[in-house]
Chain A
Amino acid sequence: MIPRALWTHLEKDLRIEWRSLDAVISMLFFSGLVVVLFSIAFDPRGSFSQQIAGGVLSVATMFASVSALNQAWAREIRHEVMDAQRMAPAPGAELFLAKVIANFLFVTIVQIILAPFFFIFYNLDVAGQAWLLALVLPLGTWALVANGIFFAALSIGSRNRELLLSLILFPIFIPALLAMVQATTTIFTGQGDPTLWIKMLVGYDIIFTTASLLLFDVIFHAE
């Protein structure tokens, strides 16, 4: 039931990544560095590490994914692929969604590989319901990637586009970041109930994914 254009784009992006592994390797190393740097800066031990771990994890994901998001459209600039995409009769929303799914998978892979190191460096033991992390992290990652792909497409034609992406993305992402940090922190510390924050993440994802799908053609064909 997957629309054909979406599937084609997704397959192409996954194949490019599989052959080069550019995005995954750069994200993995970068987020690993962030985790190590924070670990050195704050010297996490005991309950203190439980309190900051959620924030570190979210911010590390955020910084790392920007490197992949910048590459997401830059790949299409060579050989005028972007112009070809614009002329193709396929709806832009499917192209957008394919990019989001591909990059969502990349970031998720990075998180899964990084997780054991994260637990080692921060001496973490999860006091709350650990399985909820499998809900919170994908929701937060989706919020980040969906907005990030959208704004990367928005800033592709500008000077300083790599910097501009972060400058636009981070302010808009703040509520989702807050919800993600609060939810992961309550799960790590086991104090409080993350349900409200998970609901907020779901709401944020729905609102911004819908808005992006509706407005993507506008920015993609902006001239």
Chain B
Amino acid sequence: MKRLAIGLYVVVTIALLAWGLYQAIWVAPLDVMQGEIYRIIYYHVPSASVAFLFFAICLVGSIGYLAWRRHQPGKAQAADAWALSGAEVGVVFCTVVLTTGPLWARRAWGIWWTWDARLTTTLVLWLIFVSYLLLRRFAAGPQVQTLAAVLGIFGALDVPIVYMSNRWWRTQHPAPVFGGAPGSGMAPAMVHALLWNMLAWLCWGLLILYLRFSVERRRQKNAAAEAREALESNV
């Protein structure tokens, strides 16, 4: 039953991705000011939202792990698996954001990169979560989960500070397009295409997140079984 549900979900996700692609490339009208290059927004913005959502999952998982690790080890292990998969898949989506951004900026602004609030925040976020994954790789033994959870919380604390500091410093990234100043906003057909792509990439991201989570859970169970076997075996 579970297998069928997942299979169905995969089919729906792939259909949504195809529909999103169709909407983004053929249905959405051409942007008068920017030309074709603006279509990157249909991949840039959804990936950014998904990345930020998954980093938030990492934070929640980290807090959950720290809260439960003493009294409810089962729940704590699950929370840690969520934190790890959130960070890992989030880094992948964040990499997509950091790749598509400069591609667009080169055409739209004439420069690849600028130290603007949102760009810097995203880059720092990426760096922090890469360091989080490195910590998980280098730190050995059972304490790695606690250490990673603490680093996850520190990383989350850093994000608003980075954002504010760069707002005071300089800002070039387009102001919020939706609900921004008068004259902002998109044509309805564009909003339509963007929303479809948001949904499609969110479904895709959740699928990958779930797969990564299941892999990690299996690894945890195997490790626990091995540890038990080693304890029970009478050499």
Contacts and interface: CB of A to CB of B under 8 A. Distances in A.
A154 B147 contact: yes
A179 interface: yes
Contact of A159 (B124, B138, B154, B158): B138
Interface string B21-43: 00000000000000000000000
A204 B158 CA distance: 9
B169 A159 contact: no
Interface residues of B, number: 32
A23 to B, nearest CB: 24
B128 interface: yes
A211 B140 CA distance: 24
A157 B128 contact: no
Given A158-B135, A171-B131, A182-B169, A211 B154 contact: yes
A155 B155 CA distance: 15
B146 A172 contact: no
Interface of A: 151, 154-155, 157-161, 164, 167-168, 170-172, 174-175, 178-179, 182, 196, 200, 203-204, 207-208, 211, 215, 218-219, 222-223
Given A168-B135, A172-B128, A215 B143 contact: no
B138 to A, nearest CB: 4
Contacts of B128: 171-172
A211 B161 CA distance: 14
A175 B135 contact: no
A159 B134 CA distance: 11
9 contacts: A155-B147, A158-B144, A159-B138, A168-B135, A171-B158, A200-B164, A207-B157, A218-B66, A222-B143
B161 A219 contact: no
B139 interface: yes
Contacts of A151: 151
A164 B135 contact: yes
